[in-house]
Amino acid sequence: MLSFFLSDANFWFSCALGIVAALFVMEVVGTLMGISLLGLADDQVDFDADAVASAGSLTALASWLSLDRLPLMVWLVILLTSFGIIGILTNMVSQSAIGGHFPVFIVVTISVIAALIITARLGGVIARLLPKHESSATSSEQLVGSVGHITVGTARAASPAEAKFLDAFEQPHYLLVEPIEPKDIFQQGDKVVLVKKQHHSWLATRYIEL
C-alpha cells in the first residue's frame, strides 16, 4: 500500500495530503504553545459585490471559489485535501478496472477541476458555520477616504477598473472604481482615493502625495 501512495502516479496527490498532514501537526503543536496557524492566517479577502458581478473582473472567480468567505488556511486545506483524495481514488479505480493508471497529466487535470468545484461548494457550507468577526466588518461609508491602487485595467469615466484597498482592520477589499473627474484616467498601479459609492462602482480621485 505504501508503494502505491509513493508511486509516480500518486506523487502530486501524496504531496498534497502530506502538506495537509504537516499543517495539522503544526497546528496541534502551535495550539499547545498558544499559537494557532489559523489565527495567524485567518484573513479573508473581501470582494465588492458589484466587482464580482462584472464579467471581466478577476474577483468573480475568487468569490465563486469562496475565497472571500473563508480564512485562507482553511480554504487551502480543503483544496489540497480534495485534490489529493480525488487523485488517489481515481488511480485506485483505474488500477482495479484496467490494471494500470491513466496518464498523470489527465488525472491531475481532472483532480484539479474536481477539487476546485468541491472547494467552492464545501467552502460555502463551512463559511456559514464559521463564527463571524463583527469587529472587522466594514460598511461602504467606512471605506470613503481609503487610499488604494488600480490592480486590473484602466479606469475612465463610465468605464471602471478594479482597485485594491485596505480597511481599518487591514482587510483587503477589491472594488470597481472610476475617476470622479470626467477627463481623468487611472492606469494600473495608480493610487486613488475613494470618494463616493455608486450603484455598480465607486467614484475616486487621484491620490496626490505631499
154 and 107 share one domain: no
Q: How many domains does the chain have?
A: 2
Same domain, 173 and 125: no
What is d(CA 169, CA 152) in angstroms, rounded to the nearest whole number?
23
- Kindly report the backbone phi and psi dihedral angles of residue 177, in degrees, each rounded to the nearest multiple of 5, phi listed first: -130, 150
89 and 113 assigned to the same domain:
yes
Which CATH number characterizes residue 158's domain?
2.40.50.140
pTM of the model: 0.58
pLDDT in tens, 55-99: 445 666 777 787 767 778 888 999 999 999 999 999 999 988 888
Q: What is the pLDDT of residues 156-208, one digit of tens each?
A: 998 999 899 988 777 788 889 999 999 999 999 999 999 999 888 899 999 98
Residue 126 within a domain: yes
Residue 26 and residue 66 share a domain? yes
Domain of 126, in residue numbers: 2-45+55-131
Residues 161 and 177 in one domain: yes
Residue 35 CA neighbour count, 13 Å, CB half: 8
Place of cell 475612465: 156
Q: Of 109, 131, 153, which marks where a domain is finished?
A: 131
Residue 100 lies in a domain: yes
* Residue 88 shares a structural domain with residue 164: no
Identify whether residues 185 and 202 lie together within a single domain: yes
